[in-house]
Chain A
Amino acid sequence: MTFETRDLSVRYGPSGPWALEEVSMAVPPGEIYAVLGPNGSGKSTLMKALLGTVPVTRGEALVGGRSVGAWRRRELARSVGAVSQTESTAFPISVRKLVEMGRYPHLGALSPMTPEDHRAVDAALRRCRVLELADRLVDTLSGGEFQRVRIARALAQEPCALVLDEPTASLDIRHEMGILQLLRESARDGVTILLVTHHLNLAARFAHRALLLDGGRVAAQGPVREVFQPEVLEPVYQWPLSVGLDPITGSPTVTPLD
């Protein structure tokens, strides 16, 4: 599954400011692609445009080579799993029921879950290490547990692409690394991964390529080593930065100075 935009521009309302301007990018299957940029740079808008929840004003947003608007939602959800930044449940619901919702696009309106559906749910719960939480109510979970449950739900969709907005925002180091290793494994299996994040060092470590947005425009894109240069990052983040290489992992590391 590929993601691609061609001169994509998005504005909210007919006279609103442009949230994205002429953004062109392409993510081939099996790649982890990081979308970076300061607050308000258009990261989430890009994600939503590619997922069809924000209308494209100009240009194109393509999923699997097809305009995202041409996909039926059910069909899209069988191919693309998405984890948005936040979500809250209106009524109490168990972890297992929430993850079972990932099977929705595979089920008819009235058809019951098949053994295959249950297998997919269990596998997703296990991969995100939340199987032991399955019978808990979602509103009793810690922030990190809830985040892992939501990622499990996206995996239960058995998608060939994943879009994640700050998936590790409230996770401790062990669970953060657990999720990123899981994403890396998925990418090795051919799953395309679009990772929206503020966490530069994690992006540097796990992404193959990165897109740096600034005020809705592309400031830089390419292999991580090319984007992670002080002269590229500093003007965008407007802060003095030092970029080094980690002696053990060999990945670029960004340290804010002062």
Chain B
Amino acid sequence: MREAGAVGLLLVLAGVSILLSARFGAVPLTSTEVLSVLTGGGSETHRFIVLELRLPRALLGILVGGGLALAGAVFQALLRNPLAEPYILGISGGAAAGAVLVLSLGLASAASWFLPGAAFAGALLAIALVFGVAVSADRRLDVRVLLLSGVVVGAFFSACIALILALAESEVVRSAVLWMMGSLAGATWQTVGIVAVYTIPSCLLLLTLARALNLMSIGEETASYLGTEVEGVKRLAYGVASLVAAAGVAFAGVIGFVGLVIPHGVRLVMGSDHRMLLPLSFLAGGAFLTLADLLARVVLAPTEIPIGVITAFVGVPFFLLLLRRSLRA
């Protein structure tokens, strides 16, 4: 009952966040104007602003935020570590290296898919490197090695980024830094479609692993005694959750905090059963990122604040509040 209520509440919240995103922005529109666009009317300009700029942006926020939060919950269970976050396998470093390379070569404006394509390729390269190292001689996936090689591969890509930026012009450095701080500004219906193709099936697949993740979070040995194919679950869950994070990072840059904090917030309120934790994290992460993006757009409009600033500014106090409440209970 409580679970159904939470799902309902977060569904409504996600819906509201999309509507608010359509309503508010740098160009002031009235609710009536937005409503008439949504019902098929409105002027050409208004239609463009709402349907081509704001809605895809809101939906990209839902997909990326939801995907990051769900992937974060999965990593936390697999690593049995509350500090795990979705970029832990060096994904953010790989993606950023790809993106910075494209920016510094001046290719970003050549074709719209160059930047996300290079970021995605970088993220996949990082995942492949990390997995390649972590599969040990007896074909088992050693989680400690996975974690360590994730950190090391991430450090390597950071060095690549530093090298490229050191040689780049200041305008390139600025756009690279902005990209690395994350933004949903590049959202189009096409990017929404591509991210959806990666995120939605992956998240559904991860949902079917919810029970296995419950077992994994009490330890691999016990999980296998209780009937989990531990190696299979690990490979599938690490691979698929990393893919979700990679798709997000490719189109929205490195957005911190959502993947770390949202699963904890959900856990504090609803407990650690992954059958609820995963879907609720997706909804909460999606709504949270979309609302954060809205704030990023309107607070200092027409200047946009990097979305990572908002996720941290809003997320930190909210999380501390939840933490204190749970300690008192």
On A, residues with C-beta under 8 Å from B are 14, 51-53, 55, 72-78, 80-82, 84, 87-94, 97-98, 101-102, 104-105, 107, 109-110, 153, 157
Contact = CB atoms under 8 A, between A and B. Distances in A.
B218 A90 contact: yes
B218 A89 contact: yes
Interface in B203-240: 208-209, 211-212, 214-215, 217-219, 221-222, 224-230
Interface stretch (B27-35, B100-108, B266-274, B300-308): B266-274
Contacts of A153: 226
A153 B219 CA distance: 14
B39 interface: no
A117 to B, nearest CB: 12
Most-contacted residue by chain A among B76, B218, B224 (CB, 10 A): B218
Contacts of A73: 224, 227-230
Nearest to B219: A87
B138 interface: yes
Contacts of A74: 227-229
Given A55-B138, A90-B80, A90-B81, A81 B225 contact: yes
Contacts, number: 82
A81 B227 CA distance: 10
B155 to A, nearest CB: 26
A7 B115 CA distance: 60
B225 A98 contact: no
Contacts of B215: 101, 104
Given A76-B227, A98-B218, 12 more contacts: A73-B228, A77-B227, A84-B221, A84-B222, A87-B222, A90-B77, A91-B82, A97-B273, A104-B215, A104-B227, A110-B208, A157-B226
Interface of B: 76-77, 80-82, 137-138, 208-209, 211-212, 214-215, 217-219, 221-222, 224-230, 267, 271-273
B217 A102 contact: no
30 contacts: A51-B225, A53-B224, A53-B225, A55-B138, A72-B229, A76-B227, A77-B227, A84-B221, A84-B225, A87-B218, A88-B218, A89-B218, A90-B76, A90-B82, A90-B217, A91-B77, A91-B82, A91-B217, A91-B267, A92-B271, A92-B272, A93-B218, A93-B271, A93-B272, A97-B273, A104-B211, A104-B215, A105-B226, A153-B226, A157-B226
A101 B214 contact: yes
Nearest to B214: A101
B161 to A, nearest CB: 33
A52 B222 CA distance: 12
A120 B316 CA distance: 43
A94 B272 CA distance: 9
A82 B230 CA distance: 16
Contacts of B208: 109-110
A52 B229 CA distance: 11
Contacts of A90: 76-77, 80-82, 217-218
A90 B227 CA distance: 19
